[in-house]
Chains A and B, each alone.
Chain A
Amino acid sequence: MAEEVKVFGAWGSPFSHRVELALKLKGVPYEFIEEDLANKSSLLLKYNPIHKKIPVLLHNGKPIAESLVILEYIDETWKDNPILPEDPYERAMARFWCKFMDEKCMPALWKAYWIEEKERAKAMEEAFEHLKTLENELKGKFFGGETIGLVDIACNWLAFWIGVIQEVAEIELVNGEKFPILCKWIEEFINYSPVKESLPHRENLLAYLGARREALFASTSKQIIY
């Protein structure tokens, strides 16, 4: 039976990218549907009525929303090149670090780039603490060991988007001096073929975020805006 796999996403979104990367790693063909986040399609609103957000994976007409939920679904459905370990304890650890990235690392780091200068030192301290914690978890080439796993995919934002954000904000928080192991991982990750092929065009992302620079600095909600 021919499978119908569609991804409703946005080219500049790391959450959308996570889903595309997982499908690419598993060799699953899919159709990508670009959403205009300022003018969401009726299909998106139909498939994700609760949050009204991308990404949404549509598999044979059935929608799944929330990037980490989608990643687990992809791993359960297409068994080649597993992204989660088999051992329950290792799985728990992988889930823990994904949650840590999304709930602690990402918000703290995002805040540190865009917050007012007088409050930046404290924000940076928090971000650095979280990054160090994450770095300590890197025992192999990737968080997943010798191959890319769930945590690597979830940390895509750190691997690629941070570099662009640093250029736009003109602040360097993540560098090889402060985080040598993390930066080595970043190099491995973004140069790994399926990742390299799936990442957005850097210049486009730079232009896109650059155009929003003032809005990002003025953002009081400190929410990640795409």
Chain B
Amino acid sequence: MAEALVLLDFSLSPFGVRVRIALAEKGIKYEYKEEDLKDKSSLLLQMNPVHKQIPVLIHNGKPICESFIIVQYIDEVWKDKSPLLPSDPYRQAQARFWADFVDKKVVNCGRRIWLVKGEEKEAAKELIECLKMLEGELGDKPYFGGESFGFVDVALVPFYSWFYTYETCANFSIEAECPKLVAWAKRCMEKESVSNSLPDPHKIYDYVLQVRKRIGID
């Protein structure tokens, strides 16, 4: 039975990238629909009336929203290929914990670097602290998931394409401070599912400049 899968997304969204990577890891075919965030489609508003945000995965007409929830859904439905969450409950909990950490800390700091005038230096410092904690969690493993690419890798790697923006806005080098993390990101980029899904860092920077101008920061 052909599954009807539609992804409502925005090409530069790191949250959308998470879903695209998960779908690519599992070799799942789907229809991609690009949303104009300044003029959201009626389909998006209908499928995500609560948050009105992308990404939304529509599976056989039923919408799933919120990137981590979508990735877990994909992992549970297509469980036989490239599992992203470990089967052991404790390791699973650790993966969920660190993915939550990425959202609570990394996303927040990153946003403050480019979206809030005057906070970039402090936010950059906090971002480095968070990335160092993640480096600690990674240890000597090739991926956060261990020998294979997993849930936390999916959670964090989309932000690699935002590093250029963060570094340029706050004038610092992530690689200098967190070489292991950047090495990890480059390792992930060797995977087609990742390199095909991550947007060009310069396109992200151009977009950020546009937003900053529009809201009056630049």
Contacts and interface: CB of A to CB of B under 8 A. Distances in A.
A6 to B, nearest CB: 15
A59 B92 CA distance: 14
24 contacts: A50-B101, A62-B90, A65-B97, A69-B93, A72-B92, A72-B93, A72-B96, A73-B89, A76-B89, A76-B92, A77-B89, A89-B62, A91-B73, A91-B76, A92-B64, A92-B70, A92-B72, A95-B68, A95-B69, A96-B66, A96-B69, A99-B66, A100-B50, A133-B50
B90 A66 contact: no
Interface string A119-143: 0000000000000010000000000
B62 A64 contact: no
Interface string A66-82: 10111011001100000
Contacts of B73: 88-89, 91-92
SS of A interface (majority): helix
B176 interface: no
Nearest to B98: A50
B100 to A, nearest CB: 6
Given A62-B90, A76-B92, A89-B64, 8 more contacts: A50-B101, A50-B133, A64-B97, A72-B96, A88-B76, A91-B73, A92-B69, A96-B65
A13 to B, nearest CB: 18
Interface of B: 50, 59, 62, 64-66, 68-70, 72-73, 76-77, 89-90, 92-94, 96-97, 100-101, 133
B69 A73 contact: no
Contacts of B68: 95
B128 to A, nearest CB: 15
A38 B68 CA distance: 33
Nearest to A129: B50
Interface residues of A, number: 22
B152 to A, nearest CB: 12
Nearest to B137: A50
Nearest to B60: A89
Nearest to A89: B62
Q: Which 8 interchain pairs have the tightest Cβ spacing?
A: A76-B89, A73-B93, A88-B76, A92-B73, A69-B96, A64-B93, A92-B64, A95-B69
B204 to A, nearest CB: 25
A51 to B, nearest CB: 8
A59 B72 contact: no
Nearest to A69: B96
A215 B177 CA distance: 39
A134 to B, nearest CB: 10
Contacts of B96: 66, 69, 72
A102 B26 CA distance: 30
Nearest to B105: A50
Contacts of A50: 101, 133
Contacts of B133: 50
B98 to A, nearest CB: 9
B61 to A, nearest CB: 11
A162 to B, nearest CB: 21
A73 B90 contact: yes
Contacts of A88: 73, 76-77
